[in-house]
Structure 1
Amino acid sequence: MKVVALLQARNEERYVSEWLENIAPVVDAIVAIDDGSIDKTADILSAHPKLAELIKRSPGQPWRERDNHIELIKAGRRHQADWFLCIDADERIELNFGASLPALLKEADVRGVEAFSLRLREMWNDDRTYRVDGIWGQKARYRLFKNNPSHNKFDPRQLHRHWMPLEIVMRLHAVGGQLPYAIYHLRMIDAADRLARYHRYKELDPTNRFQAENYDYLIDETGLELATIAEGADYKIRS
């Protein structure tokens, strides 16, 4: 089964080389959108042997998450994807996930599973600890889903939206599965990056249209509790 990674990126030179190291061994091909980068993001992606297609947008345009997602899915279909894996440039997948993926997808076909969620770990203060208090310990995201070319209805939201088509979303009770593996989000490690993320979402969504609980929690450390990545669950090989 062919697994295609989908990536939307803008000015992600800081993260994208290690993203490729983390994701490329797991997938058969990569389809990406460079959404108006003015750094070396496009060059780094273009040089990778698993890049099947790079869609380039000109700089200066507004962030169009929904358009990016839909265009990437359509591009992945051009490259005969059986499954899509959607991991952002500042995210990493647990190494054990990649090793188990072929068997997992074979079992999914037998069980009729069309989408899987992974735990989302928001790294905090360093690259081995993540936040677990309150909402932080409950986060999970559906980022692995089966390609069905007849599925052409997409989440109308512009932010915080489902990658997968609504034909899957509406049947998650029957076709969804949860995996014990993690996605590690690196952009929350440093306080400066957390603050920048807060301001970015306040600009993109000033009235909290796409997230009712607003964005203050991104920089609020009240009740902070951290956990360390468990042995055997890391996203990179450590010396």
Structure 2
Amino acid sequence: MSGLEPFRIPRKISGNKLTAIMQVRNEEGRYLETLLADLSSFVDEIVIVDDASTDATVAICKASRKVVKLVENEGRLFGCEWRLRQMLWRAAEETEPDWLLAVDADEFYEDAAKAEMRSLINQGEYDWFAFRKYDFWGSATHYREDALWNLHQRPTVALARYLPGYHYAYPQWAQHAPRLPLTCSALPGAQTELRIKHFGWAGSAEERLRKYERHMQFDPDGKWRSLAHYASILDPNPRLVRWEERGISKGE
């Protein structure tokens, strides 16, 4: 647990609404439809910002009954990621949320995490929770683990309580901005052992090459992430570990 003196506002400990927030761009033919169906099984609402997609992404989002707000950018903001994150947060605020779950368009919460979600949001002690995110590589069966790819060893804050009147702010990072406002960390929170499966790198080597080229276009000097990390995207023989599913404990 970490954080300062709790922000002085009553915390609801039952009946809280869970809102997933997500930014998307050109997700047709990837994971979006499956992800929206999966999210719909355990969240109450979904808020999305589309970053000027040129395919059927917007139509796919509109087809989901859980999507209650969809913001469509006219111009792409990939090179100014913090503005995208902030835009998404502001859009979610308009829906009067209780808890916000940050999800990327290629991320899936494991069954144990989905089963635990209501317990996490219907308590009064913590205002955020962190999860372990695993980067699947080249398939849906193995994740990458080495000196540069080990995000799952330090949990990522992805679930936060919304407190009206609290100051939520993102650092002005052009790339790799945190998925939730940095000021959430001043509130009491907890790390969990619950896991997220990230399939952003699970595609072909050609797809990873395109992502590498995109990162180098926007961050050629390695200002927002090390050049060594970018170069490792092209590693032909990364260290991979087989993913093991976990059962759900009785009573969950």
* Number of the residue aligned with 1:229: 243
Pairing 1:148–2:163 present: yes
Q: Is the 8 A contact 1:117 1:142 kept in 2?
A: yes
State the shift of 1:221 in Å. 4.6
Count residues in correspondence: 226
Match of 2:214 in 1: 200
Does the CA-based 8 Å contact 2:35-2:105 persist in structure 1? yes
> Residue 122 of structure 1 contacts residue 188 of structure 1 at CA under 8 Å; is this kept in 2?
yes
Q: Write the deviation string for residues 41-61 of structure 1: whole angstroms up to 9, x where unpaired.
A: 000100111111110112x53
| Displacement of 1:207 | 1.5
SS in 2 for 1:73: helix
- Output one character per residue of 1:72-108: Cα deviation in whole Å (capped at 9) or x when no partner: 111111111111111111121112211111112224x
Corresponding residue to 2:149 among 136, 141, 144: 136
Aligned residue among 154, 177, 194 for 2:190: 177
Q: Deviations over 1:4-28 (max 9, x none)?
A: 1111111011221011022221211
1:125 Cα deviation from its structure 2 partner: 2.4
| TM norm structure 2 | 0.82
Where does structure 1 lack aligned partners over 5 or more consecutive residues?
Answer: 235-239
Q: 1:103 aligns with which of 119, 123, 130?
A: 119
Q: Compute the displacement of 1:188 (Å).
A: 0.9
Give the CA deviation at 1:217: 1.8
Using the TM superposition, give the Cα deviation of residue 36 of structure 1 relative to its aligned residue in structure 2, in angstroms. Answer: 0.8
- Aligned partner of 1:163 in structure 2 is 179
Aligned pair 1:117/2:130, yes or no? yes
Closer, same or farther: CA 85–19 of 1 in aligned 2, 3 Å? same
AA aligned to 1:137 is N
Distance 1:41 1:66 in 2: 21
In the alignment, structure 1 residue 186 sits paired with structure 2 residue 181: no
Q: Contact 1:82–1:147 (CA<8 Å) still a contact in 2?
A: yes
Percent identical pairs in the alignment equals 29
In structure 2, the partner of 1:34 is: 50
Q: Is the 8 A contact 1:121 1:182 kept in 2?
A: yes
Structure 2 counterpart of 1:5: 20
Contact 1:94 1:181 in 2 (8 A): yes
Deviations 1:187-232 (A, max 9, x none): 212222221111111112112111135411222256x322222132
TM superposition shift of 1:138: 4.1
CA RMSD of aligned residues (A): 2.0
1:55-134 aligned at under 5 Å gives the runs: 55-58=71-74, 61-63=76-78, 64-107=80-123, 109=124, 111=125, 113-134=126-147
Are residues 55 and 233 of structure 1, via their aligned partners in 2, closer, same or farther at CA, if it must alter by over 3 Å? farther
